[in-house]
Every structure is written in structure tokens, then in C-alpha cells.
Structure 1
Amino acid sequence: MTGRRTLWKTGIGLVLTALMLFPVYWMVNVSLTPADRMRKDPPDLVPLNPTFDGYRKVFAEQLPYLGTSLGVGLGTVVLTLAVAAPAAFALAKLRPRGRGVLDLALLIAQMVPGIIMALGFYGAYVNLGIINQAWGLVIADSTIAVPFAVLILTAFMSGIPGELLQAAKIDGAGPFRTFVSVVLPVSRNGMVTAALFTFLWAWSDFVFASTLNGGGALRPVTLGIFKYIGNNNQEWNAIMATAVVASVPAAVLLVIAQRFVAAGVTAGAVKE
């Protein structure tokens, strides 16, 4: 009986996994489908005459966009962690006055729609003359990522034993030295988790990119995909090929960092 239940659970799990992964398969399938067979009814479940024209177009036209997205993503990660890690340490261990208000402000910041923030940034960037700049996207993306990273890291750092900090204090380390030499190394899983989600957000951002960098030369890959979509010109194999290529860095990072993420997202579940 137990074996049958296990078999049924495994089968249901496989079916659900296949359903969730089918859009990914279809994306790859369409990226290999020739343009003249794109509107075939019914569509080919397997590309019988695969073509790599879409991928050739990607590497010919989209590499600058991919480079911009990579630069914006890495820059957003660096800026976010530089702001969020000290803030989380202060909230978790230094216990400043008004901590409850700060926590509430971080939660409220998570609820503000991105389009509202994008419009605010647009007005400020136009006045400052920094519209269509890649580093402007780094700042904008960080405003979304920092509150989330602070919440994640605060939960993680709250679980660091107080004895470690007391030992560092006895050895003569001040708050900054304790933060750099003790807290950051111990918080590796939380840092990787926050960095991963920050990068994925910046990599997949479209709202800020289209509002703040829609006409610049250094546009991200989300706008590169959007460029292929028009009223009379929908190059679906190129669109899907770009989506496949753009998905590779995110997939690789998820595979590499999955064990850190699993530890990071469960941090803070046990209090001191």
C-alpha cells in the first residue's frame, strides 16, 4: 500500500512538473521552428526541420543588450548588498530606536507598484539629465531590491548567536569590525540568496527599462525582445531564441546557488 501511494505521488509530481516545464519546452520548440511553419495548424510539437536562424539573429543583434543586462544586474547586486547588509545588521543586532517603524516602512516599500516608482524616477532623471543611462537603471532597480534584501538579511542575521558578537567585542572589535569579520562570513547563505533574487529582478526588469532607458544605446535584453514585436512584424523564432539565451544565465545561477538559497530562505525560523 505504501509503495502504491509513493508511486501515485511520484506520478502526480512528474505530471505537474511536465505541465510547469511545458512553456519552457515550447519556447525552445518555437525558437527552432522555421518562419514559414510558424502558423501551421496544428503546430508541430517537435520541430521537424529545425532552423537556427533565430539564434544567429540573437548573436548578431542582441549581444549588446545582453551585455547591458549583465552589467545592470551585477551593478544592482553590488549596490543593493552594500546598502542592505549594514542596514540588516543594524536592525538585527544593534536594535536602533524606531526599528518597528523601519520594518513597517520596508514592508510598505515592497507594496508600491513599480510603474509608480518608474514615473517618479522618470521625472527626476529628466530634470537631472541622466535619462537613458545604464547606471540610472542600477539605482532604480536597487530601490526595489533593497527593501527585500534587508528583510531577508535581517531574518538571517537575527539567528546569529549573540555569543559570537560578544566574543568579538571582548577581543576589541568595534561594530564595523564585527560586521566585516564575523557577521558577513557567517551570513554567506543569506547574502547569496539576496544577491540571487536581486540579480533576477534586475535581469528581468521591463518597467524601469522601458521607462528610463527606452531610447538609449545601452538597452537591456528585455527591450531587445520587445524590439522584435510589432504590429506587422512578429519574428517569433527570434523572440523565443532571445528568450532562451536570456534564460540561460538565470538558470545557471539558480542551479549553482540552490543550496545557498535553501538555507537562506529558511534563516530566522529559529530565534535566539
Structure 2
Amino acid sequence: MKRAPVRGLPSTLAGIVLLALMLFPVYWMVNVSLQPAGNALRAGWFPAHPDFSGYATALHEQGRSLLTSLVVALGSAGLSLGLAAPAAHALAHFRLRGTAVVLFGVLVTQAVPGIVVANALYGAYNTLGLLNSHLGLILADSTAGIPFAVIVLRAFMQAIPREIIEAARVDGAGRLRIFRSVVLPLSTNALITVGVFTFLFAWSDFLFALTLNTTDTVRPVTLGIYQYLGAHTNQWNAVMATAVLASVPAAALLVVAQRRVASGITG
């Protein structure tokens, strides 16, 4: 029997090389986090004798920042889904005047630079007393999450066969019941996809955290790492340990929801 030609070998090798290049910073981050305190350039290629003192320092000094980021990211994801899902359903299935204008406005918000939004929010928050608060950061991060969620969910909900919705109406279901019992269950993949991305938007936010916080009362982990570098430039194991801890929730979320996210993006 003749062997089939190995056509995919070059592509596989190229993919492995690219993956190694992309994952090397992650490996170096974990490697340095397990080294003794000192210059990161002097760290070995492999932690032969792992030292977890960096993680102890990171949890002691940045544990509150990690909790703040988790609260803000979960709040932003929940608020974005709560507002975007009904809005996307209305734009997808209701015959409303000005739908094109609303969609254009949603797209325009995605093109506005974040620093412009942050400066405008700072003036409004200073008047409303929302500076240095969890609610202020949740609302600020939602300004990026809600438009994205509306665009994705509307595109997905438009693909739902209208026959299913018409059948629910024939059975006596009202608009709210159709949305709750028909549209939302059929949009599970899209909802999870949007929830994951809005969570990641808020979790990795630095601009709003830096602009809308003037004290250390509410300090997300991104701002904590930024300030941490300036204060402990010689303790690179603690800095990298903080970065590893900040990466764990996002990585775990993507691993758990990877199938749903892949299906939602494909849809």
C-alpha cells in the first residue's frame, strides 16, 4: 500500500512555530514568577527550584485589586447582557422606525476613541459622585461592552427562523414570553460569547481605571500592576506572579466556554 502524501506537514510545522512564539511570553511570565526575587534577565530558562514567595507577596499586596477586577468585570458583563439582549431582540424582530439610524449610532460608538469617552465620563462622574467607585467602573466598561453585545446578538437573533416565533405567537405567547422562553434559549451560544468578551473587556481595562480613580480605594488589577512596577521594580517574581494570577480567571473562562464561544463566533 502506498502512503498518502503528507500535504499538511509544512502548515503544521508553521503553526507550531507561530504558537511557540505567541506562548513564549506566557511561559517566561510563569518562569520568572517561580524564581527568587531579583533581576528577571538573570532568571534561568526553567525553575529548577520553584520559589512561591512571589505569589505570597502578590496575594498579600494585590489580592484586593484582583477582587475589584472580578466584581467590575462580572458587573459589566451582567449589565451589558441585561441591556443588549432585549435591545438586540427588538432591533432584529420588531418593525421599528429608525432601526438603521440606531444601528448606525451603535457602530459609531465603537469608533469613538476610549480616551475621549474617559475624559467625558470624568467630568460627569465628578458631578455625580461616581469617581473611585465600583459602579462607576462598571458603567464605564459597559460603554464598550453594550454596543458590541448589541451588534453580535442582533446578527445572531436575525438568523432565528421566524416560523418558530410565529408558532409561539399562535400558541398564545406574548412578546415577553417569546423573548424569555424562545429567543434567549436559542441564543445561548451568542449570549455566552458576548458575556465572555464583555468580561474580558472589563477585566483588561486600564484606561478607565486610570482616569476614573484618583485614590487606591477601588483599584483594578491592571492599575495595580502598573503602580506595582513603579514601586517594586526589583521584585520581578512578585510582578510576574501578579500577572499570572490576573491571567488565570480569563484563561479559565475561555477554557470552560471554548465550545460555546467557537459556535457563537461561527454563528
Structure 1 runs of 4+ with >6 Å offset? none
Q: 1:26 to 1:230 in 2, by over 3 A?
A: same
Partner of 1:229: 229
Partner of 2:97: 97
Q: 1:37 to 1:227 in 2, by over 3 A?
A: closer
Task: Indicate yes or no: 2:33 matched with 1:12.
Answer: no
1:80-135 Cα shifts (integer Å, max 9, x gaps): 01110001001111131111111111111111111111111100000112210011
Partner of 2:184: 184
Partner of 2:263: 263
Find the aligned partners of 1:59 and 1:36 in 2 and give their Cα distance.
Answer: 19
Q: 1:188 to 1:143 in 2, by over 3 A?
A: same
Q: 1:207 to 1:37 in 2, by over 3 A?
A: closer
Q: 1:2 to 1:96 in 2, by over 3 A?
A: farther
The TM-score normalised by the length of structure 2 is 0.94
The question of whether the paired residues in 1 share the 8 Å contact of 2:39 and 2:234 is answered with: no
The question of whether the paired residues in 1 share the 8 Å contact of 2:37 and 2:234 is answered with: no
The question of whether the paired residues in 2 share the 8 Å contact of 1:27 and 1:240 is answered with: yes
Partner of 1:116: 116
Residue identity matched to 2:32: V
The question of whether the paired residues in 2 share the 8 Å contact of 1:134 and 1:219 is answered with: no
Task: Indicate yes or no: 2:56 matched with 1:56.
Answer: yes
Residue identity matched to 1:146: I
Three-state SS of the structure 2 residue aligned to 1:241 is helix
Residue 50 of structure 1, CA deviation? 3.3
Residue 165 of structure 1, CA deviation? 0.6
Residue 187 of structure 1, CA deviation? 0.6
Residue 52 of structure 1, CA deviation? 1.6
Find the aligned partners of 2:21 and 2:261 in 1 and give their Cα distance.
Answer: 24
Partner of 1:26: 28
Figure out how many residues of one structure are paired with residues of the other and give that number.
265
The question of whether the paired residues in 1 share the 8 Å contact of 2:38 and 2:237 is answered with: no
Residue 223 of structure 1, CA deviation? 1.4
Residue identity matched to 2:115: I
Aligned ranges 1:1-272 → 2 under 5 Å: 3-40=5-42, 44-230=44-230, 233-267=233-267
Residue identity matched to 1:65: S
Find the aligned partners of 2:120 and 2:133 in 1 and give their Cα distance.
Answer: 16
Residue 49 of structure 1, CA deviation? 4.2
Find the aligned partners of 1:265 and 1:128 in 2 and give their Cα distance.
Answer: 38
Three-state SS of the structure 2 residue aligned to 1:261 is helix
Gaps in structure 2 of 5+ consecutive residues: none
